[in-house]
Structure 1
Amino acid sequence: MCLLLVAWQQHPRWPLVVAANRDEFHSRPTRAAHWWHEPPILAGRDERAGGTWMGVAAQGHWAALTNYREPSRPRRGLRSRGQLVLDALQTPPASLRVDLEPAALEHDYDGFNLLFGDRERLYYVSNRDQPLRQVPPGYHGLSNGLLNDPWPKVRRGRERLAACLSGTWGERADTPPLEPLFDLLHDDRCPPDHELVDTGVSLAWERRLAPMFIRSPEYGTRCSTLLLLDEGGEIHFAERRFDPAGRVLDTRRFAFRP
Structure 2
Amino acid sequence: MDDKEVCGVDEQDEARGTWTGMTKNGRIGMMLSITQTQESKDLNAPSRGGIVNSFLKANDTSEIMESLKKDAGKYNGFQLVGLEQNDSGLYDVKTLTNQQVDKIEVCEWDDEYHVISNSPLTKSYQKAIYGRRLISQRLRDSNEMSVEQVFENLMSVATDKSQCYPDAQLQFQTQNTDEYNRPLSAIFIKYPEGTREYGTRCHTLLTINQDDHVSILERRFLPEESTWKDVRFEFVLNRN
* TM range, smaller chain: 0.7 to 0.9
The C-alpha deviation readout for 1:184-224, integer Å capped at 9, x for no partner, is 10001113446673121332221121110012362110101
Task: Tell me if 1:75 matches 2:28.
Answer: no
Kept after mapping to 2: 8 A contact 1:112/1:126: yes
Kept after mapping to 1: 8 A contact 2:216/2:233: yes
Unaligned 5+ runs, structure 2: 87-91
Highest CA radius of gyration, 1 or 2? 2
Task: Tell me if 1:122 matches 2:93.
Answer: yes
Aligned to 1:235: 214
Kept after mapping to 2: 8 A contact 1:53/1:66: yes
TM-score when normalising by structure 2? 0.81
SS of equivalent to 1:221: coil
Kept after mapping to 1: 8 A contact 2:205/2:218: yes
Partners of 1:110 and 1:166 in 2: how far apart? Answer: 37
Aligned to 1:106: 73
Relative to its length, the structure with more helix (as a share) is 2
Kept after mapping to 2: 8 A contact 1:161/1:181: yes
Instruction: Please report how far the alpha carbon of residue 139 of structure 1 lies from its aligned counterpart in structure 2 after TM superposition.
Output: 1.6
* Alignment of structure 1 residues 202-213 onto 2, 5 Å: 202-213=177-188
Partners of 1:225 and 1:116 in 2: how far apart? Answer: 16
Instruction: Please report how far the alpha carbon of residue 81 of structure 1 lies from its aligned counterpart in structure 2 after TM superposition.
Output: 0.9
Instruction: Please report how far the alpha carbon of residue 145 of structure 1 lies from its aligned counterpart in structure 2 after TM superposition.
Output: 1.1
Instruction: Please report how far the alpha carbon of residue 98 of structure 1 lies from its aligned counterpart in structure 2 after TM superposition.
Output: 3.6
Kept after mapping to 1: 8 A contact 2:8/2:19: yes
Aligned to 2:54: 87
SS of equivalent to 1:133: strand
The root-mean-square deviation of aligned C-alpha atoms, in Å, is 2.5
Aligned to 1:158: 132
Kept after mapping to 2: 8 A contact 1:170/1:176: no
AA partner of residue 241 (structure 1) = R
Instruction: Please report how far the alpha carbon of residue 122 of structure 1 lies from its aligned counterpart in structure 2 after TM superposition.
Output: 1.6
Structure 1 residues 99 and 77, CA gap change in structure 2 (3 angstroms) = same
Structure 1 residues 63 and 219, CA gap change in structure 2 (3 angstroms) = same
Structure 1 residues 197 and 95, CA gap change in structure 2 (3 angstroms) = closer
Q: How many residues align?
A: 219
Structure 1 residues 204 and 257, CA gap change in structure 2 (3 angstroms) = same
Kept after mapping to 2: 8 A contact 1:119/1:233: no
Partners of 1:112 and 1:157 in 2: how far apart? Answer: 20
Higher relative contact order (CA 8 A, sep 6+): 1
Instruction: Please report how far the alpha carbon of residue 137 of structure 1 lies from its aligned counterpart in structure 2 after TM superposition.
Output: 3.0
TM-score when normalising by structure 1? 0.76
The C-alpha deviation readout for 1:33-69, integer Å capped at 9, x for no partner, is xx157xx321222110021111111222011011111
AA partner of residue 201 (structure 2) = R
AA partner of residue 56 (structure 1) = M
Partners of 1:205 and 1:215 in 2: how far apart? Answer: 11
Percent pairwise identity = 24
Aligned mate of 1:187, from 134, 152, 160: 160
Unaligned 5+ runs, structure 1: 1-34
